[in-house]
Structure 1
């Protein structure tokens, strides 16, 4: 279940940090609307790595569609398998 708190709760940051220990993001609102997200650094790094992987996979798919796909034999030859 998401943890949602008003940004004014930053004045009591120890409580926010305790909530982060649950490996759940804390969503901060300003004037009743979502504004910021606090994440554990490990979760942030995982999200960043996932985004990078998805970006590279999309680039590979786009390249395959525009430049053509390599055969299994070509891949094996390219990597010396």
Structure 2
């Protein structure tokens, strides 16, 4: 279940910080609407790494669609990979 708190709870920010765990961010609301997210730093870094990976994969897919795909033999030849 999401951990949702009004932003006014930040007056006692230690309590808000205690409720943050990896995989369980705290969502802060302002005027009844979602406004901010407070999360564990490791979780944030993982999320950023995933976003970067997905961005690079999307670039690769776009390049493949625009320029054509390489066969495994062509890839190995371009990387000068040899068996054995």
Mark yes or no: TM-score above 0.5. yes
Question: What is the match of residue 19 of structure 1?
Answer: 19
Alignment of 1:1-81 (within 5 A): 1-21=1-21, 23-81=23-81
1:70 deviates by 1.1
Bigger radius of gyration: 2
Structure holding more helix per residue: 1
Number of aligned residues: 81
Instruction: Give the TM-score taking structure 2 as reference length.
Output: 0.89
1:22 deviates by 5.4
CA RMSD of aligned residues (A): 1.1
1:76 deviates by 1.2
Runs of 4+ in 1 over 4 A off after TM superposition: none
- Residues 14-60 of structure 1, C-alpha deviation per residue, up to 9 Å, x if partnerless? 11111113540100000000000001000000110011111111110
1:71 deviates by 1.3
Structure 2 regions of 5+ residues with no counterpart?
A: none
